[in-house]
A and B are shown apart, each in its own frame.
Chain A
Amino acid sequence: MEQVQNIMKKPKSLISLGVNTQDARISLTYFTTSFATLLIGGILGLIQGLERAGLYQLPQGFNYYQVLSAHGLLLLVVFTATFTIGYQLANLSYAFGGLLPGVRKMVWTGIFLKLAGVILTVTMIALNEASVLYTFYPPLAAHPLFYVGLVILVLGIWSVCLAVFINYRHWRKEHPGQTTPILSFFAMGVFILWFFASLGVTIEVFMIIPWVLGITETINVMVTRTLFWWFGHTLVNIWYIVAISAWYIIVPKIIGGRHFNEKLIRLVVILLVILNIPGGFHHQIVDPGISLTIKFLHVFMSLSIAVPSLMTAFAMFYVMEKAGRKKGGQGLFGWFRKLPWGDVRFLAPMIAMIAFIPGGAGGIVNTSNQMNQVIHNTMWVVGHFHLTVGVSVVLTFFGICYWLIPHLSKRQLTQRMNKIGIIQTWIWTAGMAIMAGSMHIAGLIGDPRRTSDTTYGGSDIALSWLSYEYIFAIGAALLFAGVIIQVFAVFHMMFFAPKGHTEYPVALPEEDQPAVPMWTERWGLWSILLIAVVAMAYVIPIVDMIVNAPPGSPPFRTW
């Protein structure tokens, strides 16, 4: 709370810093889209939780898979993407002192393209023409306009990627011999990974469109699944880089500390960018048609992400312990109590970080061949991504809102709003703990995912899942309450909070740190290494899938 009060007493010299007003409008537009999407996606999530537990029947004309498709697409693609872009552009504007005018135009173009794409895809789902789930891979076939919408959505993302690359290049040219500010370095990592991630899904969609139009009769299902997870898994790590940009740089400032050695931070970003894409194969670990040797070797590719993740964990604990001890924390864990637990800007990302410990451990289970076979098609996986995305990523995003949105809208984070944020964070944490926890257990005893009705004619085993499904519904209800509070908080801070200034909390490096090495800025080289790693990982299975292809599949509409 002390921190919140301090924000309002900032010296004038700091008030002059911040995001350019025109760029703030861009970020706020993204956040408006993002949280409107969260509201709709949250309602759909609640409906699903209640329907799955048998407590609610969907109205005539709607089906479970339709709701599931919309929930997945809106929250996993639209909510996270729009938040990420809004936040990263604000960071870039802060770091570079404003975006270039041409870049702003490209970003606005990106917003309109993305909105058009989302409207088209969601309309197709609402019309029950695209109940193909978030993964949308063949042989399920949606209406062609659904895929056209996805193409437009990707074009919107590319427009923003290109804009960021141009702005970065311009800054480097204007500041020869200087390393870019750390927040912009994170932004480059995010958008480079996004660009390369979306290449896989773009190729997939261009294979699907002629297939659903009837121009090609069949499609290679294995190749499309592989291309989807090229994108799908990388998206997870794009969220992760966005989250750690706040953990490394924002959280230390909020707790009154300094950020960790910048060389290590940059190395973590570079490793995440280079090693990420092939991790997608662990999503296909039970797929036929990929040899065991390849699956075995891909375990290394997936687990390589654990290296930068552990580097982050150790670095964050170091930063927090140091800040806690500076405030007088004694003994082994005394520093822990000294952290600002009453400040939502810290509490939310801190719970997010803590959740990453069980989330990461669950990820290792999913990556391991034998253990994956136990949990693959069960609710365990749903619990896993609600824990990782729903807590580690989303709570970080929520925590960012409480300083970024008032900063952008030139308003204050009041004590009352901070308290609302604390309540929201605990409700969300409880909801996710209940829902994701019970999903993990239900999955271990066999409850399948992506299935509307799991009573299986009243078999004893199937009925034993029911009590857990009631608990999903309780968790979903709490989460919905969390969504309502969060959406209220965001729009209140955007339009109704008292006018004033809120600090952009960017931590400084520790004193006497060595200069940041210039070699970290070699994004061209990192991109080439990324391509080389992707080539090494994908060439064997994809050549095998094409040369030894089974008969292709015609389109199926199962709903």
Chain B
Amino acid sequence: MKQAGYGLTLYIILILPPVSELLESMMVFHMHTQMPLFVFSGFLIAPFLQRKFPNFFNKWNRTGIPGLLLVVLIWTYWQLPRAMDDALLLTMVELFKFISLPFLVGVPLHDSWKKVNAKVQYSFLIYIFLSLIITGFLYIWLDEQICNNYLVIEQQTLGWSSLAMGFCLLLYLSMKLFGKENTM
């Protein structure tokens, strides 16, 4: 309950207009701070929902795979520069972001993580790693402005940030794969 309270508090803070405007004012904060924090808030709220609606989760996400597929689908959508642009311009898309990231990414991720085996967990992390590296290089190499709302330098910054995060994830994966502890 306490954890869900923290998650809800974080969620409310994130949707406050001054906070969301500040975090959306820079491309890198938009993608690498606001979005992961929304996911994290959903992650914290998840145990409460799992206790409240156990049948729903058992019916729709018994093996954990459907939940993880939903996570991949929604997360991939939010990697598109167009999606970020739309969120800034269209209220409905912004609303979709506020709902989809915590409740269609954070919550199913928490529900699925312990249900899937280590191989699936690694595959998911490798997917996140690859998405960071691909978008990273894309943003650094492209000379054209691919987001109407952000300058070229902001997308380059996001590119470097993606590479840095990808590097951290690579270190983590290496530590897990080659270190002593092989469980997640």
Which A residues have a C-beta under 8 Å from some C-beta of B?
A: 293, 297, 524-525, 527-529, 531-532, 535-536, 539-540, 543-544, 547-548
Contacts and interface: CB of A to CB of B under 8 A. Distances in A.
A525 B172 contact: yes
Contacts of A532: 164-165, 168
Contacts of A536: 32-33, 161, 164
A540 B26 contact: yes
Given A531-B168, A548-B153, A539 B25 contact: no
B167 A531 contact: yes
Given A293-B22, A547-B153, A547-B156, A539 B161 contact: yes
B141 to A, nearest CB: 14
B179 interface: yes
B48 to A, nearest CB: 23
Q: What does DSSP make chain B's interface, helix, strand, loop or mixed?
A: helix
B97 to A, nearest CB: 20
Contacts of B164: 531-532, 535-536, 539
A529 B167 CA distance: 11
Interface in B158-176: 160-161, 164-165, 167-168, 171-172, 175
B168 A539 contact: no
A234 B171 CA distance: 23
A300 to B, nearest CB: 11
B28 A528 contact: no
A536 B165 CA distance: 8
A23 B139 CA distance: 52
A13 B160 CA distance: 58
Q: Range of interface residues on chain B?
A: 20 to 34
Interface of B: 22, 25-26, 28-29, 32-33, 153, 156-157, 160-161, 164-165, 167-168, 171-172, 175, 179
A544 B157 contact: yes
A506 to B, nearest CB: 28
Nearest to B27: A540
B165 A535 contact: yes
Contacts of A535: 161, 164-165, 167-168
For the residues of A in contact with B, the DSSP-based class is helix
Nearest to A527: B171
Nearest to A291: B26
Contacts of A528: 168, 171-172, 175
A536 B32 CA distance: 8
A297 B22 CA distance: 10
A194 to B, nearest CB: 19
A543 B32 contact: no
A373 B168 CA distance: 36
A17 B153 CA distance: 60
A413 to B, nearest CB: 43
Contacts of A543: 153, 156-157, 160
B143 to A, nearest CB: 12
9 contacts: A293-B22, A524-B175, A531-B167, A531-B171, A532-B165, A543-B157, A543-B160, A544-B153, A547-B156
Contacts of A548: 153
Nearest to A544: B153
A540 B25 contact: no
A434 B158 CA distance: 49
A425 B171 CA distance: 47
B122 to A, nearest CB: 16
Contacts of B175: 524-525, 528
